Amino acid sequence: MNQLMYKSTRGSAKEVTSSEAILNGIAEDGGLYVPSFIPSIDFDIDELSKLDYKSLAYLVMSKFFTDFTEEELKSCINKAYDHKFTTEEITPVKKTGDNYFLQLYYGPTLAFKDVALSILPHLLKTSIKKQGINKNVLILTATSGDTGKAALEGFNNIDGIDIIIFYPVEGVSAIQKLQMVTHNGENTHVIAIKGNFDDAQTAVKNIFTDKAVQKTLDEKGYMFSSANSINIGRLIPQIVYYFYSYLSLYKNGEITKGEKINIAVPTGNFGDILAGYFAKNMGVPIDKLICASNENKVLYDFITTGIYNKKRDFYITNSPSMDIIVSSNLERLLYFISGKDSTKVSEFMNALTSSGEYEITPYMKNNLGDFYGGYASEAETNHAIKHIYDNNEEIIDTHTAVAYSVYKKYKDDTKDSTKTIILSTASPYKFPKSVMVAIDEKYSHFDEFKLTEEMDKLSDYKIPASIKDIDKKKIVHTKVCEKSEIKDVILDLVK
């Protein structure tokens, strides 16, 4: 097989191999790495449905990480998808009533980020060896809640790698915050910033292209990489569960050979649904990708109008991992729907920086046909949680509820009866206050940790060991900084 190379969405950086792209995190021109083409897989469903998760992961990832040997890639996969996950299926599909929920929260931090962040550290370590790097790697990551803890777990105490997590001081749940600030690792740092996720993400992306900072770090024996989904090593592993969930429906007799499905994805940074777009282009019979936003509905507005405008109010919602105005991974979609026109992508990104908005071309709007955009208000999100519980005695988290609510709107709008998989991206135990109060107002006076016990009483899904008594753990990370101080904080930590 020919080696698949990676290029920048903005076109002025050199082509690199997958291991170089994983190591770099972001291209030197500020763009994101994309494969030179999206490879296809012969979708023989009877053969594919015989594969377990690890075997399917190897099949999919080997198409993208072509400079990894079979031994190297299988080693990464075997180390990633082991006892850390509390189900052998890794990402099971559960039928609840007439709905299919792809449960992505059986990893160590109870969110979909675990699927990719369990393997990224191993891909990165292998890439370091392949490229003969003799520097320490500094991972910089902004988080809206879930990436932070998943990255801390994945990179914990790995030699030669340090990781710094930035999270908004207001805008993550109490459980999410405690998962991060109680984390104890020799190479891990967690910093709260006075700002929102977009402030953290923008600051981190700018540092990646700051030549003065790069020079300082180089002198100290460090190089940058990222654990956000701007890193192609984060994005590609997420493609696997789109294959796996479709095959699960087929194996369970829910769909027939060749039958198309829809996918509803709660998304803020556009990475998860972009993995679904890749899966569709690789051969998975997906019809519509339903892009579900919360009240920060910048993606809904973009899909329905073709205009991306970040000049808007920012809302803190009960689905905080989606509280995002600047969706980084959308840049990769722009590249593909523009016919791989990196000049056009650069123009859009420059316009977003200078004026806060851009409008795509009519040609590109026509290429958005794979997507349906919708959004759910806080009231609609709460109603979805209560509806699912009252009718099915199933508890879903707020992000899943956003996707369910938008899926219902899609059905009402289009009368489309195509079977649809709804991505359940986080455990309800990460957001007990929002979830339990949505089920019954009587829980409004309970604290978050008492509510996990109450949730345990209502659910077959018991309190996960990873958060049991988390409120009693020692706080390790207490630093808070202004968004303007992020650069100084980083340089201080690598003295």
Q: Angle of helix 211-219 relative to helix 486-493, nearest 10 degrees?
A: 10
| Residues 152 and 190: beta-carbon distance below 8 Å | yes
In this prediction, residues 190-197 reach a mean pLDDT of: 90
pLDDT at 208 > cutoff 90 = no
Question: Residue 376 — very low, low, confident or very high, per pLDDT cuts 50/70/90?
Answer: very high
**What tokens appear for 480 in the block?**
């808070």
CATH code for the part of the protein at 6-86+111-232+477-493: 3.40.50.1100
Residues of the chain with CATH 3.40.50.1100: 6-86+111-232+477-493, 94-105+251-458
Instruction: Give Cα separations from 144 to 120, 195, 318, 324, 328 (angstroms).
Output: 19, 11, 12, 8, 13
Q: What are the residues whose beta carbons fall under 8 Å from the beta carbon of 240, sequence distance 6 or more?
A: 53, 56, 57, 60, 61, 115
**What tokens appear for 100 in the block?**
């299919």
Query: Of the spans 205-209, 268-272, 491-495, which averages the highest pLDDT?
Result: 268-272
Per-residue pLDDT tens over the stretch 326-355 = 999 999 999 999 999 999 999 999 999 999
| Residues 424 and 400: beta-carbon distance below 8 Å | yes
Whether the predicted model's global pTM rises above the 0.75 cut: yes
Q: What are the residues whose beta carbons fall under 8 Å from the beta carbon of 208, sequence distance 6 or more?
A: 25, 26, 30, 140, 224, 226
How are beta strands 188-194 and 480-482 bridged, if at all? parallel
Q: Which of 64-78, 243-257, 340-354, 448-462 has the lowest mean pLDDT?
A: 448-462
In this prediction, residues 405-415 reach a mean pLDDT of: 97
Which residues are catalytic, by number? 113
Q: Does domain 94-105+251-458 have CATH number 3.40.50.1100?
A: yes
Concatenated DSSP letters for 181-222?
Answer: HT---TTEEEEEEES-HHHHHHHHHHHHT-HHHHHHHHHTTE
Nearest to 149 by CA among 464, 489, 434: 464
DSSP 171: S
Q: How far is it, in rounded angstroms, from Cα 273 to Cα 324? A: 15
Q: Which long-range contacts (CB under 8 A, 24 or more apart) does 16-19 make?
A: 17/66, 17/67, 18/64, 18/65, 18/66, 18/67, 18/68, 18/127, 18/232, 18/233, 19/65, 19/67, 19/68, 19/126, 19/127, 19/130, 19/131
pLDDT at 481 > cutoff 60 = yes
Per-residue pLDDT tens over the stretch 359-372 = 999 999 999 999 99
Q: What are the residues whose beta carbons fall under 8 Å from the beta carbon of 404, sequence distance 6 or more?
A: 99, 264, 384, 388, 396, 422
What is the reported pLDDT for 159?
A: 86
Nearest to 23 by CA among 271, 167, 222, 206: 222
Q: What are the residues whose beta carbons fall under 8 Å from the beta carbon of 253, sequence distance 6 or more?
A: none
Q: Which of 227-231, 406-410, 420-424 has the lowest mean pLDDT?
A: 227-231
What is the reported pLDDT for 112?
A: 95
In this prediction, residues 109-123 reach a mean pLDDT of: 94
What is the reported pLDDT for 473?
A: 93
In this prediction, residues 179-199 reach a mean pLDDT of: 91
In angstroms, how far is the first alpha carbon of the chain from the final one?
44
What is the reported pLDDT for 145?
A: 75
Q: How far is it, in rounded angstroms, from Cα 189 to Cα 169? A: 15
pLDDT at 1 > cutoff 60 = no
Q: How far is it, in rounded angstroms, from Cα 108 to Cα 87? A: 11
> Tokens 């340090």 label which residue?
162
Q: How far is it, in rounded angstroms, from Cα 261 to Cα 420? A: 6
Query: Over the chain, what is the mean pLDDT?
Result: 94
| Residues 187 and 156: beta-carbon distance below 8 Å | yes
| Residues 8 and 340: beta-carbon distance below 8 Å | no
**What tokens appear for 74 in the block?**
């299988």
Identify the helix (H) or strand (E) that includes residue 373.
Answer: strand 371-375
> Tokens 């556009």 label which residue?
270
| Residues 424 and 364: beta-carbon distance below 8 Å | no
| Residues 403 and 423: beta-carbon distance below 8 Å | yes
Coil, strand or helix at 431? coil
